[in-house]
Amino acid sequence: MAASEGPLNGVKVLDLSRILAGPTCTQLLGDLGATVIKIENPATGGDDTRQWGPPYVTDAQGNRSDLSAYFMSANRNKKSVALDIAKAEGQAEIRRLASHADILIENFKPGGLAKYGLDYATLSQEFPDLVYCSISGYGQTGPNSSKPGYDLMAQGYGGIMSLTGDPEGAPMKVGVGIADVMCGMYATVGILAALRHRDLTGEGQQIDLALVDAQIAWLINEGVNYLTSGDVPQRRGNGHPNIVPYDVYETADGHVILAVGNDGQFRKLCSFIERAELADDPRFATNPARLENRDALNAVLRPAVKTLSTQAVISGFEAVKVPVGPVQTLDQVFDTEQVAARQMQIAMQAQPGQVNLIGNPLNLSRTPVTYRSAPPVCGADTQAVLSAENPFED
């Protein structure tokens, strides 16, 4: 296999998902070389996120396409086939495509595909080697399994909103659909594990993945803090539940992040702000002590940092090896040399014109990710795919 083909070259994915969790997964599989056929409902104009704009890509004449920025964030390296699975001919085409596929991924409500004969129980009888990934709000089982699930609901039900935001304010969601994105990451891991099992045994299986389960899984230390202590965690804004100082601090002209992970770094911080005695103060000498005396320490630290410029804080702490960083807006982020060096902004040629996208963060030395095709307009590949004897061939 040539390195440029990607590690998943030859893997065939039938994508019946929409919005963000499933498309995040299938874009990642596509970046890694898999061939992805995305099924979109022509009656609704395709994936819901095609309507989640502006902004939209426009052509040379200024005409708006159906490529919203939201849709493009998770749908490169895919072929778009407009197909109505509510019709018998649409269902027959899905079965034909499934006969060639290694993976089918869907995010219908549990049981929603059974009436079309496209559920796992039905398709697995005909295609026992098929890896079938089902993403839903609450999973295929449990008392909430029939309820719909969106990212915001998952963040609320799964607890992350109770940990996010100003301590004096309302519960706050994360600024992007992180529950969906992380669910897509878990889906990718589960699919690759199931493919490994299929390759060893010839046996496919169903992956039952819930948006809420995935969100609960990445409560990480705060979740286990609660399970260990029985104490319900409280919102701390940008503060860390287990490390102090680890927070955003105001400077004379902006904000910086300080992340002091050990007592040696804390001693250096104290010297830099010309308060060396704080490192030996029993209230602050160790991280457990600093946790207990968070407010007292910040009462000293915040005024000291606020007298300095952002650049003075960053350069000063970097010089003494204390972790520090800026709080950047997106125009600053994408203007950095680091982003350019890591190729985290890419340009691709879509049907209406050039589009700018976020790059894939995976850097594989032998089988790098590839950007083979830009996000497609709805139904762009319908005729080519449905008329092909092997629909997954380019």
Residue 126: how many other CB atoms lie within 10 Å: 11
- Cβ atoms 110, 134 nearer than 8 A: yes
Token representation of residue 256: 């910086």
Where does 121-276 show beta strands of DSSP type E? 131-136, 205-210, 246-250, 255-259
Token representation of residue 250: 């105001």
Active site annotation includes 180: yes
Beta bridge partners of 81: 39
CA angle (271 as vertex; 270, 272 as ends), nearest 5:
90
Range 120-124 contact pairs with CB under 8 angstroms and sequence separation of 24 or more:
120/206, 123/95, 123/98, 124/204, 124/206
Catalytic pick among 66, 151, 180, 381: 180
Could you tell me which of 174, 129, 158 has the C-alpha nearest to residue 216? 158
Listing DSSP states for 274-342 in one string gives: T-GGGGG-TTTSSHHHHHHTHHHHHHHHHHHHHTS-HHHHHHHHHHTT--EEE---HHHHTTSHHHHHT
Look up residue 216 and give its DSSP letter.
H
**Measured between alpha carbons, how far is 50 from 30 in angstroms, rounded to an integer?**
19
Q: Strand 255-259 to strand 246-250: parallel, antiparallel, or no bridges (unpaired)?
A: antiparallel
What lies within 8 Å, CB to CB, of 389 at 6+ separation is: none
End-to-end CA distance of the chain: 16
The residues carrying an active-site annotation are 180
